[in-house]
Structure 1
Amino acid sequence: MQGKLTAKGLGLPNLPHTIHPGHVNFVTDEQLEANVAGTMLDQVIEGLTVQPEEEGFVREPGKRDIIFEGTYEEVNEYFLEHEWSEGLPIVPPTIDKVEQFLRFTDRDPDEVLGKLLPDSREATIWNVAVNGVMSGCRPEYMPVLVAIVEAMVDPAFGHEHLGHTPGTETLIIVNGTMLEELGFNYGQAALRPGFQANTSIGRFWRMYLRNACGFLPHKTDKGCFGGNFRIVLAEDEESVTGMGWPTHGQDEGYRAGDNLVTITACTEMTQAIEVGDPSAEQILTNIEARMADNHMFIQFFFRGMVTRPTVVITPAILKVLTEQGWTKQAVREHFYANAKLRVSRLSGMIVERFYKGIREGNWPEQLGSSMELERDIQMVSSPDDFIIVVAGDRDRDHVEIGSGNGYIGFPVTKPVQLPAAWAALLAEVRTK
């Protein structure tokens, strides 16, 4: 199903497919060869010799077309039946509501931001606003939504892979003066629903993947388990700058206070609970021990690419680190040197791939060439690969660790472009 729908989105609705009977990881090499030479070869021959049935394309409605009229309940039922919502109630995207969102950007509604896969649909300012309305966002969030989609369509992020079986979810990180202006939560319950900006913008991400990109469960989205949309993570910039560290935005090459959006795919998120200790170095050691349990870090070795794990520490942890003289770069270097994984902890099949990569010279040099099982290997290729963000309860010593899948969802940061009349528009909505 996924292959057929993806091919249709790429303009090849009749493309034949060959399907292996069952999962390839559950058969021996001999069985795999037999399946290829038997059932799958027959499918290849049929695909090359039998004309497939014709399948046409359905015209989509224009952006100002009224597709349905009814009560709030009827609209929600209609959208649910057509797979335009994820099952939660949506805000009906009336023309009036969409135009309220468009007031908060100086961009043309028809401006194309990029191409969206798997449906090969254009990302436009207009459909960003529509999905923002549906997700329960406020009109003043519009500049943030546009920046998110600009990051999404950046080739470095590779959004077209987000229908893969690990069911990767994306973490959205925001920085800048807009955190206070828009009411983002960056303190206690930083990743908990309950704050409109963090929650509705997080919902927008998944809504846009459904409606604009075309990722639908049981169809183009093949996440084995999948996950919910992630609440937007805002950095506690007051704590960061107050203790002398650069913000995440500065790490990405921007100035302190710049309004920014970073997206990064976190296939796995885990929490290190109570890593606190009077010794800052012991705190880092405690965090590194938890990193070793997060095996997805190792994925970058299979693809010859970099993975950038995200480590979210609280201001309480930051305080101990800075008081004992630890810079952010020194912390990264400690993570790099000590956050390692023992080869023997990998599954048998993955170990075989690991050593195959060593034999063929495909892996980074720091992995070495030893064929031993009881040795520790690096999780990243450079200290700078670690993304460190400060957020969460200022009085707790917990850490959140997010790991990606290497070539899928590489971190991308984009500036948020506020409209020229931003201050006046913001004052207007606050008086209503």
Structure 2
Amino acid sequence: MSDAVAAVRDLQIAEDEVYAEFVKRDWCDGLPIVPPTPERVSAMLGGADASRVLGIMPPLWREASVGKLAVNAVMAGCDPAYFPVIVAAVRALLEPAFNLYGVQATTHPVAPLLVVSGPVAGAIGMHAGSGLFGPGFRANATIGRALRLILMNVGGGWPGRHDMATQGSPAKFSFAIAEREDASPWPPLHVRLGFKAEQSVVTLFGGEAPHNVNDHVATTAAGVLNNVADVAATLGSNVGWYMAQSQLLVVLGPEHAATVAADGFSVADVQRFVFEHARIPLGRLKLGGMWGMHDWPLWMQKVTDEAALLPMVPAPEDVYVLVGGEALRRRLEVQNLKRHW
């Protein structure tokens, strides 16, 4: 779909034939789509300039025009109210610091996770409560799906063809959430990243599908966070091998967040605890994973004591923390290979 706007305008077929035709042309993700008629695309644009180019999207380095984004947003089932979030998310994806080429073309099952913070999340119905990573919520599902369609149709990241993820991931269908700001004992993520509380902000993480952390008994911050750190420190994880690019995103449920905060832990305390406890002995690291292919800072390369505990991320600041979900005793962790933006 290198010239999606013109293609939609020129394709003259019955609406009930659109899905099959788009599948044949490799223009969709395999799921049914909303036919992107010119009228629907115009409504999605809402007066925005369709010819405006946000940048060049890898891996095929095609122009990401606002019109192409609108076509894919319609196909995904988005409400026009979601479109500014999609545009902002694509702008973030195209920032060099995000390394979108690496995210799109790697063999690792990484997908951009969109986190929406600030007033816009509630205004458009982004879900931050029970099941926020799952089905049932139009804004989350369709915004995440629109981004995936854009990555495929505009960027050219097709499975087995430029997207070389060995086994893929369900997170590559849709991966978008809101932050549960109303249940967080700490300032929201976007405020901690330097934005004002009244601003609406999108944050992108190149992450794996969520890793569950199961804990029904911990009553202290240390108890909760030891489990988080243990899940993070695994031999087969990508995190820790390419140290300069390794990050962790910890999504605490409201109940566990309250337990941690009740022990006087700030977000900085959580970050430092996970950084200091999510570690693997050098001797165990030599047993497999990516030993011999690792990219470590000089100080880690000089370690010879096989009992020495080595970190999974470069610094405490590379552990990101937010609150999401319902007040039940579980939390999730997204292991991150690429830098966030």
Aligned pair 1:213/2:155, yes or no?
yes
CA distance 1:336–1:167, change in 2 (3 Å): closer
- Quote the residue 2:180 is aligned against: 236
- Quote the residue 2:98 is aligned against: 157
CA distance 1:277–1:102, change in 2 (3 Å): same
8 Å CA contact retained: 2:8, 2:36: no
Whole-angstrom distance in 1 between the partners of 2:315 and 2:219? 28
Match for 1:127: what amino acid? K
User: Deviations 1:189-231 (Å, cap 9, x if unpaired)?
Assistant: 1111110000001111110111100111222121110013233
User: Deviations 1:132-168 (Å, cap 9, x if unpaired)?
Assistant: 0011111110100100110111111121121221131
| Deviation, structure 1 residue 339 | 1.5
Whole-angstrom distance in 2 between the partners of 1:280 and 1:184? 29
CA distance 1:158–1:211, change in 2 (3 Å): same
| Deviation, structure 1 residue 64 | 7.2
Mapping for residues 309-320 of structure 1, pairs under 5 Å: 309-320=248-259
8 Å CA contact retained: 1:275, 1:287: no
Mapping for residues 157-236 of structure 1, pairs under 5 Å: 157-161=98-102, 162-228=104-170, 229-236=173-180
CA distance 1:349–1:283, change in 2 (3 Å): closer
Q: What SS does the corresponding residue of 1:316 show, helix, strand or coil? A: helix
CA distance 1:306–1:282, change in 2 (3 Å): same
CA distance 1:73–1:65, change in 2 (3 Å): closer
8 Å CA contact retained: 1:275, 1:283: no
Identity of aligned residues (%): 27
Mapping for residues 7-406 of structure 1, pairs under 5 Å: 60=3, 63=6, 66-103=9-46, 107-161=48-102, 162-228=104-170, 229-240=173-184, 243=185, 245-267=186-208, 269-274=210-215, 276-293=217-234, 295-301=237-243, 305-346=244-285, 347-348=287-288, 350-353=290-293, 363-365=297-299, 367=300, 369-394=302-327, 396-405=328-337
Whole-angstrom distance in 1 between the partners of 2:280 and 2:99? 27
How many pairs were matched up?
Answer: 336
More strand by share: 2
| Deviation, structure 1 residue 352 | 3.6
CA distance 1:167–1:284, change in 2 (3 Å): closer
| Deviation, structure 1 residue 340 | 0.8
- Quote the residue 1:11 is aligned against: none
Q: What SS does the corresponding residue of 1:130 show, helix, strand or coil? A: helix
Please report the RMSD computed on the Cα atoms of aligned residues, expressed in angstroms: 2.1
Q: What SS does the corresponding residue of 1:261 show, helix, strand or coil? A: strand
User: Deviations 1:49-107 (Å, cap 9, x if unpaired)?
Assistant: xxxxxxxxx9947637633223333111111000001111111111110111111x6x4
8 Å CA contact retained: 1:268, 1:296: no
Q: Which segment drifts farther, 92-101 or 279-288? A: 279-288
CA distance 1:84–1:281, change in 2 (3 Å): same
> Which runs of 5 or more structure 2 residues have no equivalent in the other structure?
none
Q: Which segment drifts farther, 367-376 or 265-274? A: 367-376
Match for 1:201: what amino acid? I
